[in-house]
Structure 1
C-alpha cells in the first residue's frame, strides 16, 4: 500500500489516484503470493535433493527401497526442523510403511501431495521399475543421480543470475528515484505534469512504459529449467 501511495504521489500527485490504482495492488499481492509459493517450492526442491542423495547412499550399501526411506528420515532429522516439509513428508511415509502400505502407493501419494516435477519423475521411474522387474535398485539409483544433477544445475544458474536480479531491482527503483528527485529539486518545472489533462496523459504513458519494462525485466531474469 505504501508503494501504491508513493507511485500515486510521484505520477499524479493526487489522492484519487490511489483509488484508481487499487486494482494494481491486488495484482501485486497475487504476484507476491506466487513468489512466496515459488520460494517454498525451491526450498523443498533442495530438501528433496538432500533426501535423494541420502537414499542413493542407502541403496548403494544394500538397503531395500522401503528401508532406504526409513534411513533417509534418520539422516534428515539432524539437518531440518521437525516442522519442515521434508521431515513431515518422510515421517508420514515411514508411518505408512510401518502399516504395511506398499512402497509404490506410499511414493505415489507423496508425489500427489507435493506436486513437483522432480518428485513426479522419481516416483514414475520407481513405479515403472518395480513393475518391469530387473535391477530396479540400479535404475532408481541412476534416476536419483540425474534428478540431483538437474537440481544442481538449476541452483548454479540461480547463483549466476543473483547479481543480475539485484541489478534489476536497483534499475526498477531508479526511475522512481529520478521522478522524486525532480519533484524536490525542480518543483516548478515538474508542476506542468500535474493537475491537467495533458500532464496526466503523459504520466500515464510513462507509468505504463514503466510497468511494461518491469514485466519484461522479470521475464528476463526468471529462468525456468
Structure 2
C-alpha cells in the first residue's frame, strides 16, 4: 500500500522568525562541495588526466582532449560522497528508532519519544550529526503543527533510503489504523534496525574488495612504468604516430570500460 504524504511547508521556519532565519532540510540526493573539496577533487581529476595523458600518449598536451576526465572525477566523487552520506544517515537512523522504541516502552508518547531520541543522537554522534539535525527539524515541524507521519515521510523521501521510507509508511498506516501503535512501532523499529545493520555488515565485507580494486586500477601503469624504466624505447612505436595514437586510444577505452565494470561488480544493492 502506498500512501501519499506531502507537505509544502518545507523549508521549516516559524512565521515569527521568517524574516530572520530559514533552515532548509537537506536533500541527501545532492552533495554541496565546499571550497576545500572543490580544490581536492579538482586536483585529483587533473592528476588523473595528466597520468592518462603521459602513459597513453606520452604528451601532456593530450590533457586538453582528456579534460572531461576532471568533470567525470567530480561526478564520481559526488556519487561516492552521497553514498557515504546516506549510509551515515541510515546508521544513525537505526540507533534513533531503537531509542524511540525504548522511549515508548518507558511510557513516552510517540512524539516525545522522537524528541528524546534526538538527545541520544547528540550524545552518541554530536550536535552536528545528521540525525541530530533531522530531529531538530522534526521538532520545529511539530511546533508548527505538522503531523509526525508527514515529517517522517519527508525524511524518508529526502534520504533516498528504502528502509527509512518503509518505516515512514508503516508508521503512517499504524497511526491511521488506530491499532496498538507502540507495539507496531517497536516491532517495525526492530526490523528496520536489523535490515540496516545487515547492510552495514555487507558494506564492511565489501570494503576490502574496494581496496583491491583500487590497487588493480594502478597495475597497468606500474607495468608500463617498469617497462619504460628497464627497456627504454619499448613503447616508442606507439607514440607520435597515427597508428600508435589509435592503438593507445583503443587501449584507453578498454581500460576505462574495465574500470566501470569493476566498479559495478562491487556496488551491490541490498
TM-score (norm 2): 0.78
> Distance in 2 between the 1:86 and 1:148 partners?
15
Verify: 1:170 aligned to 2:233, yes or no. no
Residues 115-124 or 138-147, more deviating: 115-124
Residues 143-152 or 23-32, more deviating: 23-32
| 1:191-223 superposed Cα distances (whole Å, 9 cap, x missing partner) | 111111121122112111111111111011111
| 1:16-59 superposed Cα distances (whole Å, 9 cap, x missing partner) | 21101112221221111111111111111111111011111112
> Distance in 2 between the 1:103 and 1:167 partners?
44
Name the structure with the higher helix share.
1
* Helix, strand or coil at the partner of 1:134: coil
Match of 1:52 in 2: 97
Match of 1:202 among 238, 244, 247: 247
| 1:99-122 superposed Cα distances (whole Å, 9 cap, x missing partner) | 544322332333344343222111
Match of 2:14 in 1: none
Match of 1:81 in 2: 126
> Distance in 2 between the 1:181 and 1:220 partners?
29
Q: How many residues align?
A: 225
Match of 1:150 in 2: 195
Match of 2:108 in 1: 63
| 1:159-191 superposed Cα distances (whole Å, 9 cap, x missing partner) | 111111111111111111111222222221211
Verify: 1:92 aligned to 2:165, yes or no. no
List gaps (5 residues or longer) in structure 1. none
- Judge conservation of contact 2:86–2:160 (CA < 8 Å) in 1: no
Match of 2:226 in 1: 181
* Helix, strand or coil at the partner of 2:123: coil
Verify: 1:4 aligned to 2:4, yes or no. no
Match of 1:215 in 2: 260
Match of 1:20 in 2: 65
Match of 1:29 in 2: 74
TM-score (norm 1): 0.93
Verify: 1:126 aligned to 2:171, yes or no. yes
